[in-house]
Amino acid sequence: MVSLTQRMATAAVLGVAVLGVTGAPAHAQIMIGPGNVGINQGAGFYNPLLAQQLGYVQARAGQVALQHTLAAQNMANNLGLPPGLVNAALSTQYNLNNPYNPYSPTNPFNPYSPYNPYSRGGYGYGGSGGYGGYGGYSYNPYPFGDYFNGVAAMTNANAQYLVTIQQARLLQQQTEQARLQTRYQGSQLSVYERERTLTPEQIRDRDQAAILAHARGPETPVTDVLSAKALNILLGHSLALQRNGQRGPAVDLDDDLLAHVNLTVKDTRANPGLLKNDGRLTWPVGLDGDRFKENRDGLQGLLMGAVKQLQFGNPVAPGEIKDMRTRLDNLKEGLTDSIDALPPAQYVEAKRYLNQLEDAVKLVEHPKAAKFFTNEWTAKGKRKVAELVEFLGDQGLMFAPAAPADEAAYQSLHKLLTEFDAGMAPVAKGK
């Protein structure tokens, strides 16, 4: 049995030893605290500065422990204590507080130590129950698991960052490709619209082709024929082809038909149609009443005298032309006043006849009116349609509307012109 004195001496020795062994970790806690070294407190994060400081602490702790152990042994020897008793006590305390012991509570690397700021237990940051992870000091069978988890988390974060960057670049390329595709489609649309948009020349050619087809057709309105509209369309087209080196079939014309063909100067409405019988007029029923007699007979005499002067190549006096217009205006006013007394058909016929008389008066006052009565500007003597077309083109003439006695001749002439124009073809070389 150990005496009381020996026990007290042993306790003193152990106090010196414990002071030396436990003092180092306390000193180490002050030096390597997260606030002092400025490290990230996240679990498993490796910091070289922390590792360097911990190595220093371990070395310093070993020196201090060795010094205090030697002091305790010297004190035990001076007190006369048994060496075995002192060594056993020191060994037990040293194993518990040795900073080199990986499972010592005072070892900062011990995952169970309350001094380890990265431990899951002790005075750590988590868990349920007390200050520990699951109540007090928690058990971690993998002391370096947090380190590898942290490294893995950093690796995953870095990989995710690289993936995000590449995805952003890919999205940027896709956006650029979409922009270029939109631009390309816009240019293709412009080309499509431009190719299908007719130029002014194409529009004109299309319209002329439609007009020509309408003038050639068997269902051409009679009004277009009698007004010479369809005849002049065929004339212009045949003349253009003929001057371009093409020739039409040989289509004959007889004198009876040509006698009823009225010609006029381009850009005028002058028409000799009513004056071909030396100026004698055939009045319609609507203008045959007594109320029209004075103006009717006066205009008749003026026109017959004008034709005689033109046949000799003399111009008509301006006073006579003025008198003609006055009597013509009086006839128009009288017809308007008689609109309720005349049947609609007679009124329309009389009005049309007065319009033709107005065209006859315009012819009389034309500076070159004499050419229509000296056979210089007439269709007589033209035996072929090609000759008539060439003559009208050279003289700058065109067809004038048909007079009442010319309607049948105009319909026959329309058929002959259609046949000639449709048969136009290039002339073979050598012919």
pLDDT at 56: 52
Task: For 398, list phi and psi in degrees, rounded to 5.
Answer: -150, 170
Q: What is the DSSP string of 215-229?
A: HHSTT--HHHHHTTH
pLDDT at 85: 52
Q: What is the DSSP string of 270-329?
A: ---GGGTTTT-----GGG-SGGGHHHHHHHHHHHHHHHHHHHTTPPPPHHHHHHHHHHHH
Rounded CA-CA distance 163/184 in Å is 31
pLDDT at 39: 38
Task: Please give the span between the terminal C-alpha atoms of the chain, in angstroms, as a whole number.
Answer: 158
pLDDT at 203: 87
pLDDT at 25: 41
pLDDT at 119: 47
DSSP letter, residue 252: B
Which helix (DSSP H) or strand (DSSP E) does residue 398 occupy?
strand 397-399
pLDDT at 21: 43
Domain ranges of the chain: 4-110, 144-197, 202-261+379-431
Residue 108 CB contacts under 8 Å (≥ 6 apart), including other chains? 25, 28, 29, 32, 54, 57, 99, 115, 116
Task: For 396, list phi and psi in degrees, rounded to 5.
Answer: 70, 35
pLDDT at 269: 84
Report mean pLDDT in 10-residue bins for the chain, 431 residues: 49 47 39 38 46 52 58 65 55 52 54 52 41 46 65 85 91 93 91 86 85 86 93 93 90 92 88 89 90 93 94 92 94 92 93 93 91 88 91 93 92 94 71 46
Smallest CA-to-CA distance from 380 within 231, 258, 250, 251 is with 258
Rounded CA-CA distance 215/224 in Å is 8
pLDDT at 393: 92
Rounded CA-CA distance 177/113 in Å is 60
pLDDT at 231: 94
pLDDT at 378: 87
The residue count of the chain comes to 431
Helix and strand numbers, DSSP H then E, in the chain: 14, 4
pLDDT at 80: 64
